[in-house]
Structure 1
Amino acid sequence: MRISSVTMFEQSTASINQQQSDFLNVSKQIASGRRVVNPSDDPQAAARAVRVDQSKAVTQQFEDSRVSARNSLAQTESILNSVSDAVTSAKTLLVQASSDTLSNVDRESIASEMRGIYETMLGQANATDGNGRYLFGGYADNAPPFVKNTDGNVEYKGDTNAREQRIDASRLMPVTENGDSIFKSVPSGAGYVAEATKTDINGDPLAGNNVRNDGSVTFGGPQVTNVNDDDHGDSFRIVFEEFNGEDAFRVEKFDAGWEPFNPATSTDDPIAYEGEGQTVSFGGLDITLDGTPDNGDQILVAQAGSEQREPNLFRTMEEAIRVLEKPVENDTDKADLRNTLNTSMRDLDNALDNVLTVRASAGARLNELDVVDAVGGNRMLNYEQTLSNLVDLDYYDAISEYSLRQVGLQASQQAFVDIKGMSLFDFLR
């Protein structure tokens, strides 16, 4: 077979080009630190690397989401801590105000402190996050959730939802609380609260000046005596009236309206009012009555959180401030002061328990974020290890390959030089 000079030149050039190409590929791998520089280097590894890289990006997005969730929960927990301190301070002031040795001026001074706490609570309830969104308005976060109406009472304008954020593929976490669950709720199992307030046929407190009693009757309790009583858990009210020219009262139970409930008697006749610490029992409860009632006076006895006794921390504060600012001039004022402070202290106890429960929930979610962070961190390490195995360069192998390709290129070049010099004319003399 005849091999021409052109054929030898072409093959030598092709060999040199191939060696140069292989040498250049190894050089690019060393320079980039990656074994797969182009998809064509290892199509299967490149395809798997794309999927792993996408999974890394999603995991990173969840990590960023957890940072945002942690900030919101930490701010929520901090504000709830301040609210619990405020409720504790208010309760301390009310205990102080319960002393009979205080004058009207002393109580007015306490009322001034209470109003400061009240305004602080309102400011905390309308707190915003770093983006200007109101924390406790639920998804209605573009306006203050708590506003004062024309009567000066605080109303909740937010919704009853809690903003949620996806912190992992299978976990959608509430990152805030709505104001209704903080300032207008009580923990499950909250007990009975008595209040000297008048209610209508539907169990709703009356509005205006008729809401409060005109007599000087006061109450102590209620105390739970039998949780297994068939009527325990229902709402009751004591309604005072005259019967046969004497003070008397009826016990009524709410069941789609107020109905007579006199378990101590076989009739619906009013019970004679004796005063002087008279104890009345109904629904597994005992309540002690004292003082002189007026015809039509009422005492509501309902479980905290029921429809007849809806909780409202701001309303509790407003009532306490009202009664402390009002001068005590007669027995009716004294009874109003004592009854209102009694009721307010029980309401504040329930409010504190509720705030602490909500705060504990926020703290538990912060702990959960730490756990999810640890899992996400391990997942990210696994992805990075898998991606490294697929596309990263083994420098030991690469440097050895680099040296080998360098020798191959030099050998191809030297061989071409030797072949180029082969000619019969060099041997003719």
Structure 2
Amino acid sequence: MRLSTTMIYEQQVRGISDSQSSWLKTGEQLATGKRVNNPSDDPVAASRAVVLSQTQARDAQYTTSRSFATQSLSLEENTLAGVTGAVTSAQEQIVLGSTGTLSDGDRASVATRLEGIRNQLLNLANSKDGSGRYMFAGYKTDAAPFAADATGDIAYNGGTNAITQKVDASRTMTIGHTGDDVFTSIPSNAKKEPDGSASETNLFKMLDSAISALRTPLASADDATKTAVSAAMDKTNRGLSNSLNNVLSVRSEIGTQLNELDTLDSQAGDRSVIYEAQRGNLEDADPAATISKYTMQQTALQAAYKTFTDMSALSLFKLNS
């Protein structure tokens, strides 16, 4: 086989190009600290790293979702703490107003205080979050959930479905209870009425009934009126007890959910560390081995340059002379 000067020249150039390409590739690994910078570097490792990256991105979205859920539940819990205090105060006023030694004027004063508590509860029921959305309206967050109807009674006009949020791959939880769940419901084990009639479920109707009874004069009332007033006060007292237990049940649920969110965040943090370590095993370069390889390739490239320089000064004519 005959070798021409051109063939020798091209072979030397190709050798230098290959050496330079390998040296630059190692230099890139040294600069980035990554063994896999392009899919072609290691297709299998690159594909597995993409899957891990997608999983990490999904977990990051769930972390944001849990943060939102925690804020919403914490705000609701804070509001319900105020509801608990208001209902407890109302119970105290009902007990005071039921005292048989009070004058009509004293009872009217109790009614006024009870009306203030009722208005406070209405304000809490129509609370807004930081974005100006009504907290207890379900998905109908643009309108106040509680308002007076045609008869003057406070009624719930919000959505029927509680707000839910997906906080992990296989977990969706309620992050916003409806006002119906909180203010117009009682637990299944609620105290029943002595005569077997249905228990009142609307917290505002309970208070309105007691306020009306307290403002009924008893100084010159007949026995039937006094009995009716006493029955109304007792029914409100039972209703407030049921309503308070319902609110406490919702708060207990919220507390459990907040603890669960903390646990999910902790687990997500542990997973993130594991995923990052797996990605590192797939993509990261060994610093010591990379530096050694870079030095060796640099030396080989310099030798290729030297050989090319020496060979370029020769030709087959000179070799044959």
Q: Please state how far the C-alpha of 1:110 moved relative to its aligned partner.
A: 1.8
Task: Give a deviation string over 1:156-195, Cα, whole Å, max 9, x none.
Answer: 112332111111111111111111121122122222224x
Give the number of the structure whose residues are more often strand, by fraction. 1
Distance 1:339 1:155 in 2: 23
**In 1, are the aligned partners of 2:191 and 2:238 still within 8 Å (CA)?**
no
Distance 1:106 1:409 in 2: 103
Question: Higher mean Cα deviation, 357-366 or 177-186?
Answer: 177-186
What residue in structure 1 maps to residue 155 of structure 2? 155
Task: Give a deviation string over 1:309-366, Cα, whole Å, max 9, x none.
Answer: 3411110111111122333231344333322221111111111111101110111111
What residue in structure 1 maps to residue 4 of structure 2? 4
Which amino acid letter does the alignment assign opposite residue 218 of structure 2? V
**In 1, are the aligned partners of 2:137 and 2:144 still within 8 Å (CA)?**
yes
1:301 aligns with 2:191: no
Paired residue secondary structure (2:150) = coil
**In 2, are the aligned partners of 1:79 and 1:124 still within 8 Å (CA)?**
yes
Matches within 5 A, 1:47-86: 47-86=47-86
**In 2, are the aligned partners of 1:39 and 1:46 still within 8 Å (CA)?**
yes
What residue in structure 2 maps to residue 32 of structure 1? 32
Which amino acid letter does the alignment assign opposite residue 43 of structure 2? P
Which amino acid letter does the alignment assign opposite residue 147 of structure 1? A
**In 2, are the aligned partners of 1:72 and 1:176 still within 8 Å (CA)?**
yes
What residue in structure 2 maps to residue 141 of structure 1? 141
Q: Please state how far the C-alpha of 1:427 moved relative to its aligned partner.
A: 12
Distance 1:426 1:6 in 2: 14
What residue in structure 2 maps to residue 377 of structure 1? 269
Paired residue secondary structure (1:192) = coil
Matches within 5 A, 1:357-372: 357-372=249-264
Paired residue secondary structure (1:175) = strand
Aligned residues: 318
1:335 aligns with 2:230: no
Which amino acid letter does the alignment assign opposite residue 164 of structure 2? E
What residue in structure 2 maps to residue 46 of structure 1? 46
Indicate which of 220, 244, 262 corresponds to 1:352: 244
Indicate which of 173, 177, 201 corresponds to 1:311: 201
Q: Please state how far the C-alpha of 1:421 moved relative to its aligned partner.
A: 3.8
Q: Please state how far the C-alpha of 1:147 moved relative to its aligned partner.
A: 0.8
Distance 2:249 2:34 in 1: 53
Q: Please state how far the C-alpha of 1:69 moved relative to its aligned partner.
A: 1.1
Question: Higher mean Cα deviation, 125-134 or 314-323?
Answer: 125-134
Larger-gyration structure (1/2): 1
What residue in structure 1 maps to residue 212 of structure 2? 322
Q: Over the residues paired in the alignment, what is the CA RMSD in angstroms?
A: 2.1
What residue in structure 2 maps to residue 412 of structure 1? 304
What residue in structure 1 maps to residue 93 of structure 2? 93
Segments of structure 2 that go 5 or more residues without pairing to the other structure are: none
Q: Please state how far the C-alpha of 1:426 moved relative to its aligned partner.
A: 10
**In 2, are the aligned partners of 1:52 and 1:383 still within 8 Å (CA)?**
yes
Task: Give a deviation string over 1:51-78, Cα, whole Å, max 9, x none.
Answer: 2111111111111111111111111111
Segments of structure 1 that go 5 or more residues without pairing to the other structure are: 195-299, 303-307
Distance 1:356 1:321 in 2: 24
Which amino acid letter does the alignment assign opposite residue 320 of structure 1? A
Q: Please state how far the C-alpha of 1:98 moved relative to its aligned partner.
A: 1.9
Which amino acid letter does the alignment assign opposite residue 34 of structure 1? K
Distance 1:394 1:121 in 2: 65
Distance 1:16 1:88 in 2: 87
Distance 1:323 1:153 in 2: 16
**Dislocated runs of 4+, deviation >4 Å:** 422-428
Paired residue secondary structure (1:174) = strand
Which amino acid letter does the alignment assign opposite residue 142 of structure 1? D
Paired residue secondary structure (2:193) = strand
**In 2, are the aligned partners of 1:193 and 1:347 still within 8 Å (CA)?**
no
Q: Please state how far the C-alpha of 1:2 moved relative to its aligned partner.
A: 4.2
What residue in structure 2 maps to residue 297 of structure 1? none
Q: Please state how far the C-alpha of 1:425 moved relative to its aligned partner.
A: 5.9
Distance 1:324 1:389 in 2: 76
Larger RCO: Structure 1 or Structure 2 (Cα < 8 Å, ≥ 6 residues apart)? Answer: 2
Q: Please state how far the C-alpha of 1:96 moved relative to its aligned partner.
A: 1.6
